[in-house]
Structures are given as C-alpha cells and as structure tokens.
Amino acid sequence: MQLQDVLYSQGFGTRRVCAGLIQQGLVQVHAGGDGGSPRSVTDAAQDVDPRGLRVRVQGVDWPYHEKAYLMLHKPAGTECSQKPSTYPSIYTLLPSPLRMRPQKGAVQGVQAVGRLDQDTTGMLLLTDDGKFIHRMSSPRHHVPKVYEVTVKHPLDESQVMRLLAGVVLDDDPKPVRAAACEAHGSHQLSLTLTEGKYHQVKRMLAAVGNRVEGLHRSRIGGLALPDDLLPGQWRWLGADDLALMAG
C-alpha cells in the first residue's frame, strides 16, 4: 500500500495533500516489527505494510487502523450531531483525522453508533464501519445497554416491577420492557435495555410515575466504561473490546 494512500485512508486529507506532507518531510514511519526510531520518508508512492504501522505526521503519532472503532465518554451539554442546534457537537472532541476519514470516496469521518441526549453522559461508540453500526443498533441483535438513572421521586418496588413487566409508550401500543432493573437506594437504579427508542429511559420512567433527573450509560454489551476515561476523552477499541460487545 502506498504511503500516501495510507495517510489518505486515515483522514489526513486528499491524496494530493497527503503526498505533499510526505514530500515536505513531515511524515515519519514506524513499522510494526521495527523496534527502532521512526524513519523519515519523502517518497509518497513508497510501498509500506499497513499492518502494525504507526506514522508520525507533523509530530503527531498515529496508529494505522483499517476501520476505526472508538469509545467516547460523552460529557453533559453536548449533542451527537454533526450539525448541532444548541450545544457543542461531540465530534469536536475528536482529532481532525477521525472526522476526515473517507468512506466510499467521500469524507464522512466516524459516526456515532446511536445517540445520547444532550444531557445524558457516558459511553458512546463511534466508527466508520457501517456493518458494525447496523449490528449494534438493530433491535434484532438485542445488544444490552446499561443506564445508571437518578430519579426525582423515591422509588418503590411496584415501579421496578412495572419496568420489568413492560410499559406502553404513547407512540407504540407494544409494551417496552427492561431486560434488567435494580434499585440502588431510594433515587437511583440500573436499567438494562436491548432496544433503543427516542428518549426511551425518560419516557419509561415517566410511564411509571417518576422523572429522570440524571442519566448515564455505563455499559454496552460486556464492555464497561473505564473509570479512568474521563468526560470528553476517547480511546481506540481493540479486538478484545469488540469481542466483549459481540457477547
């Protein structure tokens, strides 16, 4: 694979821009099996093995990923939209190459796998793999998502039982059930859902006579949000992480 094509696939600009970066000596290459220092390359057409490859572009280290899989700790007061209406976009928390990764010949960047409301915090997945987005989002695959919920009014056993039995939302006569629900004290509970509807957690709690005051997604599948990933921070997902989400 030519080095300029590697940089293009990682979102560093058009092929012409990437070739220019290389020819200006702004790119260094560190091959997967090379334990030494990165070496400068000025030939944009030089063939490199992308497996395990790391590049340094204008002083910034970047690992090669054929497909990008990310976890973001979404902070409150952000929107999961490329064109936010009121609050800053979560995409501004990502470095430029992730927002510029090409897909099918067009610049699209990574996309959020589902959305969280502007005031909801917690785990958000992003990728440029359309099949992964479909698999994780489709209700047919029943990927469990765990939410930590703070409610306004004291919880009682009947509310928990109704959430497990199923509640009817105003736009769907079919009851929506929680896969799991456990109260933690009088005003907090963990709620596990396997499908996603608009404002689903808030509407389910409203249906049992309560109100959501705080909402945080802590887990998707078998993958939990790490304690050391602070709000606004992101990290790459590896093969082990993806296996945990596949169940």
For the stretch 174-177, contacts whose Cβ atoms lie closer than 8 Å and that sit 24 or more positions apart, written own/partner, are 176/200, 176/204
Residue of 117, 119, 128, 227 marked active site = 117
Residue the block writes with tokens 């987005």: 133
| 3 state DSSP class of 9 | helix
20's CB contacts (< 8 A; 6+ apart) are none
Known catalytic residue: 171?
A: no
CA atoms within a 13 Å half-sphere pointing along the CA-CB vector of 16? 0
Rounded to an integer, what distance in angstroms lies between the CA atom of residue 163 and that of residue 180? 9
- Give catalytic residue positions: 117
